[in-house]
Structure 1
Amino acid sequence: MEISYWVVAALLALMYLYSGGKKVAQDKERLRPMMGWVDTVPMPYVRGIGTLELLGAAGLVLPPLTGIAPWLALAAAIGFVLLQIGGITLHLSRGESRLIGLNVVLLAAAVAAAWLATVWL
């Protein structure tokens, strides 16, 4: 079960490091082609989401790796579940139902990571 957690957590962490890094470092014009929703959300919120993604990626990996507060991995995975529910809701409210595929995959992976993270409880 631990190996399964590490596979899922590593993939999620890489995805959120990339996504969060872009949201934190790039301006609205550079984000727009990939994330059309940035036009409807104030940039401080976009930056905040990016920061949460970076912190969550660290939370998936560092606590179990170091053995310090490994329950934080479960909290990070649950945070990603909530983040993806929000992302799906935003896309559906904008009439972008065809764009939720990645969100659904990330939601399923976050649910799996949360379940697998219970190994450290």
Structure 2
Amino acid sequence: MNVALWIVAGLLAAVALFGGATKVLVPRAKLAEAPGGQWTASAGDGFVKTLGGLEMLAAVGLILPAVVGVAPFMVPVTAVCWVLLMVGAMVAHGRRGEAKFVALNLVYLALAVFIAVGRFGAW
């Protein structure tokens, strides 16, 4: 089970890092043209950049505490925060009628639940 948790945490961290870096580094106008990024057209630059920064912190929080053995309880806490983020993403995409992105966010949410439950010691 531990290996599966590490693999899922690594995959989810990669998703968070890529998504966060994109939001931080790519101009909002260009993000708004990309599939799934249309929501950024009606969001402020600060909001999009802050969200990107939080996603990059989530990438760190899913891996680093367990790797260095300092505050490893932060891994499941970060996973729970990711669940909340994905609920918000699902609402945002759902309001725009973007069902495929709602489904993708649901997959990310399920992976985060797996990490949270597994690292909180329920398995």
Query: TM-score if structure 2 supplies the norm length?
Result: 0.91
Where do 4+ consecutive residues of structure 1 move more than 2 Å? 94-99
Which region of structure 1 is more displaced relative to structure 2, 51-60 or 97-106?
Answer: 97-106
| Stretches of structure 1 lacking an aligned partner (at least 5 in a row) | none
The Cα offsets for residues 83-106 of structure 1, whole Å up to 9 and x where unpaired, read as 000000111122323431211111
Q: Is the 8 A contact 2:28 2:48 kept in 1?
A: no
Give 1:116 deviation, angstroms: 1.5
Q: 1:31-110, aligned counterparts within 5 Å?
A: 31-32=31-32, 33-34=34-35, 35-110=37-112
RMSD value, Cα = 1.1
Shift of 1:41: 1.4
% identical equivalent positions: 36
Structure 2 stretches of 5 or more lacking a match? none
Structure 2 Cα separation of the partners of residues 73 and 99 of structure 1: 25
TM-score of the superposed pair, with normalisation by structure 1: 0.92
Instruction: Give the length in aligned residue pairs.
Output: 119
Aligned-partner residue type, residue 28 of structure 2? K
1:28 Cα offset (Å):
1.2
